[in-house]
Structure 1
Amino acid sequence: MKNNKWNRIVLKVGSALIAPERKGCSSRYLLHIAKFILQCRDMGIQVILVSSGSVAAGAHFFNNIENPSLAIKKAMAAAGQNEMMAAWDRFFDFPSAQILLTHGDLRDRERYDSIRETLFALLDAGILPVVNENDVVTTDALKVGDNDNLSAMVAAAADADSLIICSDIDGLYNKNPHTHDDAVLIKEVDAIDQDIYAMAGGAHSSVGTGGMKTKIEAAEKAISHGVSTYIINGFNEHSFEELISGNNPGTYFKPYQRPMKDDLHWMTHTAKAQGELIIEADSNSPFDENSEQFTSNEIVEVRGDFSVGDTILVSSDDGTHLAKAESKYSSCLLNFITTHDNDEDNDFQHHTGPVISDKNIAYLNQDEEEGQPV
């Protein structure tokens, strides 16, 4: 847990720290965060900053509209992004680089690899990458939705040692500390289960979009890749002083002892299923590393629209999710095959090979000891 083992960290800073009053960027809380970044770099630790705040920073240009439309929010993001980058730049005497992403970029394997290469090139050149979701162009189908989960995806892509997520409280409590005086801070989490999610509750900040639940989701993504994760109070300068000293100022999430491999992690936590195949629950499960891949004959139902190479979910008809995988056929073709399965003159389905690629499969029913989600 000591930070002298860090080579590369991802630091996630939320909107409430950037523009606490939605009147443009403020240095009120950013000074001690910038100091922490400088100290890390002086110690030879590479830093990637995932910074929210473009919408909050640009809100004051639009007469403080209480319930802005989606188009206005996108315009706020466009206007606020420059102001947010300028706010960070004024603290540093080294260059920074803006990286705007959508989930569509991350879930496409070719673009994901390109993002990795860009991050590594920037870090090697001593440039601070500043990552944010591209709110101006993103849609419901393409957005991550919160920068907590985005920061975990970036941490995995960048092979970071640690992810530090700033919150408005000291970390994860056993109950909401805003409403319960007897709430107890959970200093260390060995494994994330439903009990941990039950403690997370809902969002509290009126400025940011991510509550504690999204931070737990992000922690789960990160630790499965072997990334140590902290949730700390970003409003408290002492939090960063403790981190620099090698101490835990908030909640520390232990990483998997046997992290998931890069391709498997990407398939499980970053790639988004574009459709779903349903197979019979009582059939022999094809989702065993020692068994052959299933063919179209075993498909009960095809759901959604997807193309060759898209990520799909494979489930049994009792509702059990079995795997995420890369489809070798389009939904249109699989629908045609399964619809005509009983036609005497149609034997095309008998000549189709495995429906999913055996190279990109994330099994969803294996033990956590194997580096898999349960």
Structure 2
Amino acid sequence: MNAHAFSEQQLPPWRRAVLKVGSSLLAADGGGLSARHAEAVADFVSASHAAGREVVIVSSGAVAAGSAVLRGQPDSGAPMAERQALAALGQAKLIGFWQSLLQRPVAQVLLTHDDLRNRRRYLNARTTLAALLRHRAVPVVNENDTVSVDELKLGDNDNLAAIVAALVDADVLLIATDIDGLYDADPRRHPDARPVEVVAQLSAELLGVAGGSGSDVGTGGMRTKLEAAQRASASGIATVLFNGTRADVLEALSRDRLLGTRIHALRSRVAVRKHWLQNAVTEPGGIVVDGGAANALVEKGASLLPGGVLAAEGDFRRGDLVEVVLRDERGTRRIARGISQYSAADIRRIARRHSNDIQSVLGYNYGGNVIHRDDLALT
């Protein structure tokens, strides 16, 4: 066997994945988009759907698509506004391109890192993506390049994919690249470079080995992929690096067989999330619940519904981390903390009401839970 070939390994079970596809897999020679490699990627997505799984695509390629509209590929020194214009022109082409390859409805989702750093906008994006997956659509996520100057300049859709993986509670982050996986040296410069098939924990040495971009159309390289894997690992999500230009690798991946590099998560997703919920700083005030609601939270692991809420104290907003307290004849005591789906003002209006009444009372709703059980940790 070729000493430099990756051997086949079993991919752990997964139900939801984020798949990052870079420009090098999508760009056609001379500008525009090519289905040459994308068809096999789409076949993998379709096979995953047929197996009852969900896939969110984080796709580069808008600038490459836009270059075909204006018949020009920007050089590395092109003004930022030019690259932003190409991204704006190419975004519709990119979504149409994915729709032509997939049988399910494709939904465009444009995000910036600012959207994902702001807790309320983060929660809104998460709710929207969850609804799209519930409707069996394929979200295609990209950075909102026309307003994200820094993100477009850095081109780190790899890291965006890691953030989206945490956003949607993915089981695995799949990064399709144009080489077979991670090596202990740059295989283009060192013929004796050997595959690194499993990484228990990313080290400074491995990050140092990673080089820059190997493509004229992509702006990311192996280092950004490892940085994304490091971010995903810290969120409790494993990462897989594989060659998206090889149809046989994608076909094997659809059978849970990996020819590439698997990077383990440091901890489980549940452990990471619960640790954050238990240790992050809460907003002043909180949500007061009755004994029935407290029992449902503590004994049954249920979500907090408005019917069990007595009051909201303080002036917190939707998406804030707040304390949940039980108030009864024995006094007041903390029982949990979680991310509120509604502001304190909204909760005061829907307290003691049925979840079905939220829309009529508020004129809108963010779901029937005041705090979803996935966003709640007992104290």
Residue in 1 that maps onto 2:22: 14
Q: Which runs of 4+ in 1 moved over 3 A?
A: 1-4, 141-145, 257-260, 262-266
Task: Report the TM-score, using the length of structure 1 for normalisation.
Answer: 0.67
State which of 252, 256, 259 in structure 1 corresponds to 2:262. Answer: 252
Mapped to 2, the partners of 1:142 and 1:105 lie a distance apart of: 15
- Where structure 2 has 5 or more consecutive residues not aligned to the other structure, the ranges are 1-8, 278-379
State which of 208, 215, 232 in structure 1 corresponds to 2:218. Answer: 208
Q: Secondary structure at the match of 1:165?
A: strand
State which of 126, 132, 140 in structure 1 corresponds to 2:142. Answer: 132
1:78 aligns to 2:75 (yes or no): no
Mapped to 2, the partners of 1:236 and 1:96 lie a distance apart of: 24
Letter in 2 for 1:162: V
Preserved contact between residue 64 and residue 73 of structure 2 (Cα < 8 Å): no
Preserved contact between residue 3 and residue 244 of structure 1 (Cα < 8 Å): no
State which of 35, 39, 53 in structure 2 corresponds to 1:31. Answer: 39
Residues 141, 94 of structure 1: CA spacing in aligned structure 2 closer, same or farther, 3 A cutoff?
Answer: closer
- Report deviation, 1:25: 1.2
1:54 aligns to 2:62 (yes or no): yes
Preserved contact between residue 32 and residue 240 of structure 1 (Cα < 8 Å): yes
Residue in 2 that maps onto 1:171: 181
Residue in 1 that maps onto 2:207: 197
- Percent same amino acid among aligned pairs? 42
Q: Secondary structure at the match of 1:232?
A: strand
Mapped to 2, the partners of 1:21 and 1:143 lie a distance apart of: 22
Letter in 1 for 2:184: N
1:239 aligns to 2:280 (yes or no): no
Mapped to 1, the partners of 2:158 and 2:71 lie a distance apart of: 28
- Report deviation, 1:194: 0.3
What pairs with 1:219-238 in structure 2 (closer than 5 Å)? 219-238=229-248
Residues 92, 149 of structure 1: CA spacing in aligned structure 2 closer, same or farther, 3 A cutoff?
Answer: same
Higher helix share: 2
Letter in 2 for 1:53: G
Mapped to 2, the partners of 1:161 and 1:30 lie a distance apart of: 23
State which of 249, 261, 269 in structure 1 corresponds to 2:272. Answer: 261
- Report deviation, 1:143: 7.8
1:40 aligns to 2:51 (yes or no): no
- Report deviation, 1:142: 9.2
Residue in 1 that maps onto 2:297: none
- Report deviation, 1:144: 6.9
Counting matched residue pairs gives 266
Q: Secondary structure at the match of 1:152?
A: helix
Preserved contact between residue 233 and residue 250 of structure 1 (Cα < 8 Å): yes
What pairs with 1:80-99 in structure 2 (closer than 5 Å)? 80-99=90-109
Q: Secondary structure at the match of 2:64?
A: helix
Residues 258, 4 of structure 1: CA spacing in aligned structure 2 closer, same or farther, 3 A cutoff?
Answer: closer
Preserved contact between residue 37 and residue 47 of structure 1 (Cα < 8 Å): yes
State which of 104, 114, 120 in structure 2 corresponds to 1:110. Answer: 120
